[in-house]
Structure 1
């Protein structure tokens, strides 16, 4: 099921609904009714979320390091570590910028140029992942 969802979340947005229906039908035909129901219930991600999904799946090591940066930032914030927050915040800006540009390039390579508002949404998504463990999950 995880592989099916991975495939679905990296499917270009314009093809998402058709691919979701094909995958749900295949699961139903195979007798996996619960899987079919779960696949059918998956919502099409925003373009920004789709680009972030492309980044996660194509750059797993960088994504892991990004998640670790978020954990370190949250720990420094809770510990009120001003020096640590200063250093980590500078790193956050650099890494977030670089990753958002990589995600935009991946989207372009997949045939979707990100508009400026979508690029801003992507950057907001990356910031949310750093700040909120639920968003990171």
Structure 2
């Protein structure tokens, strides 16, 4: 069990956008909140706390969801720190069974694409183009 071992980093534009911080179970190790405008938590983007977190804590894995640029930056930072990273490729999905191709994301190996609805939605960050 990993109870009490997870650190959660959340970010938003302002205090109103991070209201869901209180929905996390009390069984996590710590929660770090960032806001772009500094109205709550640490002023800055959520990825701004990652280099220090990766350097000071034993991080086994990073699980990332959110805007593409944030996921790309977090995945790059995790790779530099030697931390395995998974990304949730949230997409609008038409059919949900892989036939409409409305949710595809490109593979890093250049061999086509993944169907987010059928192959994911969570992928190793090393396998998808962010």
The TM-score normalised by the length of structure 1 is 0.24
Which one has the bigger helix percentage? 1
Greater strand share, structure number: 2
Greater RCO (CA < 8 Å, at least 6 residues apart):
1
